[in-house]
Every structure is written in structure tokens, then in C-alpha cells.
Amino acid sequence: EFNADLITASGVPFWSGPKRPPSALEFNADDALHLGFVIAAANLHAANYGIPAVHDAAYVKDKVQGVMVPEFTPEKGVKIATTDSDAAASSSGAGEVDADNVKRTLAQLPTRDALAAWRMAPAVFEKDDDSNFHIDFVVAASNLRARNYKITEADRLKTKGIAGKIIPAIATTTSVVAGLVCIELIKVLLKKGVTELKNGFVNLALPFFGFSDPIEAPKNKMLAKTWTLWDRFDMDMGTDITLAQFLDYFKKEHGLEVCMLSCGQTLVFSSFGKAVRERMQLKMSDLVRTISKTEPRPRQRWYVFEVCCNDADGNDVDVPYVRYRFRFD
């Protein structure tokens, strides 16, 4: 209906000014952009459902070539508004709802009990993780749309800058900040005290350089020990231990009883929860996978656990987070 040569009722071309006629794309598995879109979209859905990611492009290419997608056929009788008056007329009946269709749709939905074991993980956009397919999807989707409308495509670096809202910094400022950071890192490596460290404030436009003494991080008490936000428990046991061994380690090494354990936003253990006995013999990595319904990243070797503990008298004790190694390949 809206072909490239369409003339409106007023006698002017419909596709004029900022409006460009789109052209349909036919899927080609040999086109890196086409295949990249399928790989990125499929892996994003897989991450939602806790399914392991697939990075092998050759494997995906082989699978998609066997998929038969029905040819798109435009629905007949659909009226598309081309003028403001047409849009106003079509919107007058937009509030009408087909009650019978709603009932049929609701009847087809599974019950809440049937979905009780399902867990979905929302995708939170992260531009700096090249293994999560976020930028890959944005690059593929935006460039495919650009091809539809014959718009200049953008490479991965440019797309990442736009999607991630990356603001280029002036080279001189960046170099000054990097230099000051390196000076402080050298002091840390030389084990200098906090009195020899400095906070730096720089404004090259004035110009202004200011330095101040940092304050020590607040100290927390854990039985007879003290710790700050810079401390943590590192647990590298040489193997992936069970939940029971994890709890026993805390009791023997630190005199603390773990009452709650969380990984990210998932509560993986609570002393008052259900199914505690069944989970005691699970490896820590299996425990996280089972409850969070997510898989670790391919190169991930550590989990970070937040721990709630009690001392021998049952009093709450603030402790640092735990960095636990579960993979040793």
C-alpha cells in the first residue's frame, strides 16, 4: 500500500522530506550482522531464563539454517493513518476491548502454581561486559534498522559510545588524573601510612590543584578483631565445598554461626528457611545455580556472598563480605 512511488491525496509524494521508504531484509546466515542479531537476541533470552550462553557462531549458523520461518503476509483490512485527521478518526475507537478475546487469552495462561519453580532474571544493561551480548544486540538491531531505511551504519565502538552515553574526556585532564592515581598506587605498594596519602582536586581551566589528607575508613568490630569496608573474607579452599563445610568453616575459623547467606539479590541460605537439610550437601556453586536459576559467566571463578552471622551468645555480628572461589580450571 505504501510503495516508494505513493502520491498523497494532495498530490505530493508520501515519502518525502524526513520520511524514507523502508526496504525489507531477507535473512542471510552468511551476513555477519544478520547472524550477530540472532546470536545476541537468543543469548539475551537465554540469560533471562538461566540457560547457558552459546558463543559459537558456527554452531548457531548451522542451527538457524534449518529453521523455516513463514513468509510475512500483511494482514488485510488494516487501515494505517497517513494524515492527522485519519489518526484522530482511528483513535476514537482505541478504547474498545474484546472481552471474549481477553477471556480466551486468560484461559490459555498457566496457573501460578504451574510456574512456581520458574525464575526469570531481568537484564540490566551493562556496556562494559563484552560477554553479556548487550552491546552486541544494540549494534545488530540498530544497524539492521539502518539498513531498512538506508541510513549510514555505525561500528561497534561508535554504537557503544552512543548507547553507553560515554562522554569523551579531554586528554590533558585524563593524563593528570591518571598520573595522580599512579602516585597514590605507588604509595600503597610501598605500604605508606594513611598520613602520607592524598586526595587530589584538579581544575585545569582555572588552573587549580588542591590536595587534602584522607580520613581513615570507619572501623567495625568483629569479636576481638576490627575491619573496614576494604576488608573481606577470601575463601580459596582448593575445591568447591558444600554448604555444610562452608558453615562449619566459619564456626571453626571465626567462631561465628552463619544465619543468612546471599549472593547478589538471591538469598541462598537461611537457618530458619525450608529445605535447609536437603541443601547442606550441595556444592556452593550448585547452590547458587539451583536457587538463582542463573549460570556463572564463562571466565568467572569467584562468587561474592553477603553474610549475616551470630556469635556464641546469639548476638548479631557485622562481618565483611566473602569472596569464594568455586572454579579452579
What type of residue sits at position 201?
F
Q: Identify the sign of the CA torsion 182, 185, 189, 195.
A: positive
- Provide the sign of the torsion angle of the four alpha carbons 24, 28, 33, 37, taken in this order: positive
CB count within 10 Å of CB 233 equals: 17
Please name every residue paired with 201 in a beta bridge, in sequence order, or none if there are none. 210
Residue 3, C-alpha cell as written in the block: 510503495
| Average pLDDT value for residue range 84-104 | 74
Question: In the structure, what pLDDT confidence band is assigned to residue 247 with cuts at 50, 70 and 90?
Answer: very high
Closest CA to 292 of 281, 303, 302: 303
Phi, psi of 173 (to 5 degrees): -65, -45
Region class of 93: left (phi > 0), else alpha (psi between -120 and 50), else beta? alpha
Q: Is the dihedral of CA 114, 266, 131, 328 positive or negative?
A: negative
Mean pLDDT of 190-218: 90
For residue 74, say if its preceding peptide bond is cis, omega within 30 degrees of 0: no
Given a cut of 70, is residue 35 above it in pLDDT? Answer: yes
Q: What is the mean pLDDT of the chain?
A: 88
CA distance 121 to 1: 41
Statement: residue 82 has pLDDT above 70: no
Nearest alpha carbon to residue 238 among 326, 317, 301, 306: 326
Cis preceding-peptide flag for 207 (omega within 30 of 0): yes
Looking at the predicted structure, is the pLDDT value of residue 286 above 90? Answer: yes
Q: 271-281 pLDDT, tens per residue?
A: 887 778 888 99
Percent of the chain with pLDDT over 90: 47
| DSSP-based three-state secondary structure for 64 | helix
Task: State residue 90's pLDDT score.
Answer: 67
pLDDT above 80 for 210: yes
CA 173 to chain centre: 30
